A and B are shown apart, each in its own frame.
Chain A
Amino acid sequence: MPRFVRSIWIVTAIHLAIGMVAYAHFLIFRRYEFIAQYFAILGSLFFLLMTAAEFSLALICRSWFDADELMRFAWSMIALAGLARLAGTGIRIGADGHLPWDLRQWFIPYRGELFANLGQLGMVIGGPLSMAFLAFGLGRVLSIQRRFRLPGSLTHGDKALIVLILAFSISQLAINLPLLRGQNSLGTILLWMSDPLLALLLVQAVLVRRSVIRIGQGLLAKCWGMFVVAIVTTSLGDAAIWANNHNFLPESLTALSWYIWFIPAAAFASAPAYQLAAMSSTRDLHQVNAL
């Protein structure tokens, strides 16, 4: 496993281990103080660390490509997606004031009408905007893969999954479109775009996954595989929120479902780390000596 990827998953494992102690405390004492502190402080710091790693690693990957290379655009978009996630996380943490050192004093009070509050602006930047950038980036990766005939043909299961995803997105749009007539802020409307964009990313993830299955488990295949893991776990997190909103989950499982969000954060950071490992392996003397 490449050095950066190993570091990302070691930090994630330690973070989740501490999180499990907080969860055990919640299960035993049925009190939210400890677990709430864990998510507010350690959880926020973890998201900041991972999004910063994702952005900086994607930026380094981009710098390895010349301006006229096709993958330069893909990595520019992926870096922008990382930057949007980092900015969104920063704004939300600052606006919520969860960290012990209150950051709200550094923020200009939001008095606009486009967004309900500063936290919603952070959610839009870190959610739909970031997803849109990622969709552009993955679209370019898929077009280059198609040029080399890397994606394998879709199975019946893949097609069924894509139909299911599209049906869910259309049903969500059908619910949300009539609400457009109401007094909704731009932020609320933009947040409704999350589901269709996530559906698009899932379709792209299915196509990318096919190529990974076809070629094996090399460093670049793992880079694309990490995007698939990140998108699928983001969808799982979304599904857990939906289930919780409809009271399908017991209290203990609801708290456990919050931990899902750490996995996509780590997977998004691991993807550029694998790409960087593939590119820098050409300068790695261990690899050269292995020849």
Chain B
Amino acid sequence: MSLFSKLNLELRRRTHSVVPAEAMLLEPASAPGLNDLRERLDRWGQLWSAGKESPDTSAQELITERLTHWMRLCFGERMPTSLHGNGDPVSLSSSMPILTAFLGRRATRELSRRVLQGI
């Protein structure tokens, strides 16, 4: 047995689990909790893709307005229409890839934080 294997075995023997065994037993989530999670995921999904069936139109409009502002500032006044066509609204899902490509992940992360501020 190599020295490394011996050390590894010894380390495993001495290492104790950081999570108590009783905490590892997963309890099934309650129905209201699951519903709440589903609603949140649906809402974020709609905000991400700017779905027209979204019930939260004011948040949607705010996101579109903010994204359009950044797209105009970074690329140009014709960018929102040239990228999305005249019909489709500007959404997070359609804008983030191009912003990430040209501004980088760090700047886009900051930008998305600004866009989603207060929503």
Contacts and interface: CB of A to CB of B under 8 A. Distances in A.
A66 B107 CA distance: 11
Contacts of B117: 288
Contacts of B98: 148
Nearest to B76: A216
A71 interface: yes
Interface in B21-49: none
Nearest first, the 6 closest Cβ-Cβ pairs linking A and B are A216-B76, A218-B76, A215-B76, A216-B77, A282-B110, A218-B75
Interface stretch (B2-10, B11-19, B53-61, B66-74): B66-74
Could you say which of A212, A221, A291 has the most chain B C-beta atoms within 10 Å of its C-beta? A291
A209 B78 CA distance: 15
Interface of B: 65-66, 69-79, 82-83, 97-98, 101-108, 110-111, 114, 117
A34 interface: no
A256 to B, nearest CB: 34
24 contacts: A64-B103, A64-B104, A69-B105, A71-B101, A71-B102, A71-B104, A72-B104, A144-B101, A148-B97, A215-B79, A216-B75, A216-B76, A218-B72, A218-B74, A218-B76, A218-B77, A219-B73, A220-B102, A278-B103, A280-B107, A281-B73, A281-B74, A282-B107, A291-B69
Majority SS of interface residues in chain A?
A: helix
Given A69-B105, A71-B104, A148-B101, A217 B77 contact: yes
B113 to A, nearest CB: 8
Interface centre among B71, B83, B106, B117 (most CB of A within 10 A): B106
A154 interface: no
A223 B76 CA distance: 12
